[in-house]
A and B are shown apart, each in its own frame.
Chain A
Amino acid sequence: MTKLTRRQTLGLIGGTAALAATPLIAKPAYANTSIKVGALRFTSHAASFVAFERGYFADAGLDVEFEFFQAAQPMALAIASGDADYAVTAISGALVSLAERGATKVIGGALSEEQGIDGQKIVASNAAFADGVTSPAALAGRTWAVTQAGSSFHYMGSKISGAEGVEVEFQPLQGVGNIIGALRSDQVDAWSIVPHIAKPLAAGGAINIIGDVADYLPNYQVTTVFTSTANAAEERAKTEAFLAAFARGAADFNAALVDKTEGEDGAEEMVQLIHNYVYTDRELDAARPAIVNGAMRINEGAALNTTSVEDQLNWFKSEGLVDQAASMENLVDTSYVDTM
């Protein structure tokens, strides 16, 4: 039997630690490359689900595995740490900071606000509504719920109150669940949220819809497709393949639920497909209205509205949430998709 001396054992431990610390070398993209895609269980992430279920990822030679998250911020961190390859989420302060540090890049656009299509809603608690907050203009001195500083809710609240010329106080509550609880118990006054959450709550009498985000932020690029800087710079084939498959999924989704050109059957088929991922704890019949209500346009060809992205970046800077030197060049790689 081989006996290890104490010194050998220590050497072995040291060696293993050094090996473990060596950064993993990125694998080149071949056919049947396996990639991890970060997603939230939201209807707004449907393009990835459609591309997966209808085999568009497989056609592009990608073997996709979904990594599910609870919020946008950990997803940005997972991309930076290499635990996920591609993800779709709102532009947050963390995403900008990570891009400045050379870890992440926005490569395409997904969900957009569009006037005429039911988008995100501005809502008020019952107490605030009864007290006269029936439109965003009456928000002066009220509290506005956000998950965290620098989240999309913070951006929307700031832009909406700015447009109305009123001051609101932001209340960080960490999670969407906490915010809904606080609104129900009248602890905060107002919030903005995607329609599939706003509408059922309003229908149940828990909150009141007082406006549309699209009226204040037309063409707001709500979510973007992003990846690590290494993927964007060095894995061109793989990234292009992902975006192409994602865009096919987005096109199917828009046709079935946003433009409704596929008829009743097409819409129903789409709802069933999405139900495999979203509201899985509810019966299909209970989930159907929420999925249909949550359908907002996902940009054709994953095109990116750089005007909106730049506006968001400038807002982060003006609020002192990110480094003043943060630039569009570090945040966005425009070489992949059309820009608007």
Chain B
Amino acid sequence: MADTTHHSLGAQTERTAAGADKPHSAGEANTTVRYRGGGFRTHSIFWVGPVVFVVLIAVWEWGTQTGFISNLTLPKPSDVLGTFGELWRTGTLFEHLIPSLTRFAVGSAMGCLAGVIIGVMIGLFSHVRAGLVPVVAAIFPIPKIALLPLFIIWFGIGEGSKYALIALGTFTPMVVATYGAVDNVDRTLIRMGQSFSLSWASIVRKIVLPGAMPGIFSGLRVSLAIGIILLVAAEMLGARRGIGAYILEAGSLYDLERLFAGVIILSALGVVVNFVLGLIEDRVLRWRS
């Protein structure tokens, strides 16, 4: 109730009230009323993120050093760093990273490219949509890892089965994202193109594909993250080299330092992929700004 009166009586009363509470400000003429709008707005504070990380790792290091966190629960961050340094010095890092990057690049390139092509076709042609949407819906929920033994029979225990697993895993989300993006292209733009008598191919090339690009890029972010996850699954069978094989080996030996070092490499890979994708996106979607 007090609040309401305050507002309805206006600035004059407020000033008097303030003057009554704090006698020393009574002499000031034209006290400015504080602007009470604003707030609830996010702005970037660049230093908070790193500080949170540093504090978390410091607490973790302190806990493992003092034995508050047992070495059965978590490894020491400094030991993980040491393991990482060892990987770097001995060159083992690249021995594992290069096969994994190759598998990731080849597998996800095949999956994403096929996904975009099929997705655009579903978006453009009703017959393809009617035929393939149920198939994609049927393939999507299959855990691809369960098919790994089958892929080994089909494509061999070497690189073929690994490419196939990553390709299939990235393909389905890419198809769904792409045809969704094509569906969401502004219809009025297409009508405009038609009223300017643009040919069908021209509309697809100049309106539909550029319009679908933002959706395709967000699909790519999801698909490539799935690709990185599947890297570990792909290297479960018949791989001695690779980040996934390294993580699995560390897990089966209960070697927490190596396990964490491997997981950090995968995280870093995710960050790098996302960053590169951001750069490409900025370039391809220049028309937006």
Q: Give the interface of A toward B (CB within 8 A).
A: 73, 76-77, 80, 92-94, 97-98, 101-103, 148-151, 169-174, 177-178, 181-182, 185, 187-188, 321-322
Q: Which residue of B lies closest to A188 (CB)?
A: B157
Q: Which residue of A lies closest to B156 (CB)?
A: A187
Stretch from B37-45, B199-207, B232-240 contacting the other chain: B232-240
Main secondary structure, interface of B, reads loop
Q: Which residue of B lies closest to A71 (CB)?
A: B252
Chain B residue contacts of A170, Cβ below 8 A: 240
With contact pairs A101-B72, A148-B248, A148-B249 given, residues A172 and B255 touching in the complex (Cβ less than 8 Å): no
Query: In the complex, are the beta carbons of B72 and A151 less than 8 A apart?
Result: no
Query: In the complex, are the beta carbons of B238 and A148 less than 8 A apart?
Result: no
Tell me, yes or no, whether B71 is within 8 Å of chain A by CB: yes
Query: In the complex, are the beta carbons of A181 and B149 less than 8 A apart?
Result: yes
Contact flags B188-214 to A (C-beta < 8 A → 1, else 0): 000000000000000000000000000
**Size class of the B contact interface (CB-based, 8 Å):** 20 to 34
Q: Which residue of A lies closest to B257 (CB)?
A: A323
Q: Give the interface of B toward A (CB within 8 A).
A: 70-72, 149, 152-153, 156-157, 236-240, 245, 248-249, 252-255
Query: In the complex, are the beta carbons of A97 and B149 less than 8 A apart?
Result: no
Give CA–CA (A171, B157) in the complex, Å: 9
Query: Most chain-B CB neighbours within 10 Å: which of A92, A149, A151, A322?
Result: A149
Query: In the complex, are the beta carbons of B253 and A172 less than 8 A apart?
Result: no
With contact pairs A103-B72, A182-B157 given, residues A97 and B255 touching in the complex (Cβ less than 8 Å): yes
Q: Which residue of B lies closest to A23 (CB)?
A: B70
With contact pairs A182-B152, A187-B152, A187-B156 given, residues A174 and B237 touching in the complex (Cβ less than 8 Å): yes
Which listed residue, B71, B236, B252, touches A149 by the CB 8 Å rule?
Answer: B252
Chain B residue contacts of A101, Cβ below 8 A: 70-72, 254
Give CA–CA (A37, B152) in the complex, Å: 36
Give CA–CA (A173, B249) in the complex, Å: 11
Give CA–CA (A185, B240) in the complex, Å: 20
Query: Most chain-B CB neighbours within 10 Å: which of A76, A172, A321?
Result: A172
Query: In the complex, are the beta carbons of B248 and A80 less than 8 A apart?
Result: no
With contact pairs A102-B72, A188-B157 given, residues A94 and B152 touching in the complex (Cβ less than 8 Å): no
Give CA–CA (A336, B238) in the complex, Å: 40
Give CA–CA (A181, B156) in the complex, Å: 12
Query: In the complex, are the beta carbons of B72 and A98 less than 8 A apart?
Result: yes
Give CA–CA (A103, B254) in the complex, Å: 12
Task: Beyond A172-B248, A174-B248, list 12 extra A-B contacts (CB 8 Å).
Answer: A77-B254, A93-B252, A93-B253, A93-B255, A94-B253, A149-B249, A172-B238, A172-B240, A182-B237, A187-B156, A188-B238, A322-B255
Give CA–CA (A128, B248) in the complex, Å: 28
With contact pairs A98-B254, A149-B253, A151-B252 given, residues A172 and B245 touching in the complex (Cβ less than 8 Å): yes
CB contacts between A and B, total, < 8 Å: 75
Q: Which residue of B lies closest to A171 (CB)?
A: B238
| Minimum C-beta distance from A152 to chain B (A) | 12
Query: In the complex, are the beta carbons of B253 and A150 less than 8 A apart?
Result: yes
The 3 A-B pairs with the shortest beta carbon distances in the complex, nearest first, are A148-B252, A93-B253, A97-B254
Query: In the complex, are the beta carbons of A172 and B249 less than 8 A apart?
Result: yes
Give CA–CA (A94, B252) in the complex, Å: 6
Query: Most chain-B CB neighbours within 10 Å: which of A80, A97, A151, A169?
Result: A97
With contact pairs A148-B252, A150-B252 given, residues A187 and B238 touching in the complex (Cβ less than 8 Å): yes
Chain A residue contacts of B253, Cβ below 8 A: 92-94, 97, 149-150, 321-322
Query: In the complex, are the beta carbons of A172 and B237 less than 8 A apart?
Result: yes
Chain B residue contacts of A73, Cβ below 8 A: 252
Chain B residue contacts of A151, Cβ below 8 A: 252
| Minimum C-beta distance from A61 to chain B (A) | 30
Query: Most chain-A CB neighbours within 10 Å: which of B72, B153, B248, B254?
Result: B254
Q: Which residue of A lies closest to B157 (CB)?
A: A187
Give CA–CA (A150, B54) in the complex, Å: 35
Chain A residue contacts of B152, Cβ below 8 A: 181-182, 185, 187
Give CA–CA (A169, B249) in the complex, Å: 16
Chain B residue contacts of A97, Cβ below 8 A: 253-255
Query: In the complex, are the beta carbons of A178 and B240 less than 8 A apart?
Result: no
Give CA–CA (A171, B249) in the complex, Å: 12
Give CA–CA (A97, B238) in the complex, Å: 24
Q: Which residue of A lies closest to B250 (CB)?
A: A149
Q: Which residue of B lies closest to A169 (CB)?
A: B240
Give CA–CA (A247, B149) in the complex, Å: 40
A-B contact pairs, 29 of them (CB 8 A): A73-B252, A77-B254, A93-B252, A94-B252, A94-B254, A101-B70, A101-B254, A102-B71, A148-B252, A149-B249, A149-B252, A149-B253, A150-B249, A150-B252, A151-B252, A172-B239, A172-B248, A172-B249, A173-B237, A173-B238, A174-B236, A174-B237, A178-B149, A182-B238, A185-B152, A187-B157, A188-B157, A188-B238, A321-B253
Query: In the complex, are the beta carbons of B157 and A80 less than 8 A apart?
Result: no
Chain A residue contacts of B240, Cβ below 8 A: 169-172
Chain B residue contacts of A149, Cβ below 8 A: 249, 252-253
Give CA–CA (A148, B239) in the complex, Å: 11
Chain A residue contacts of B245, Cβ below 8 A: 172
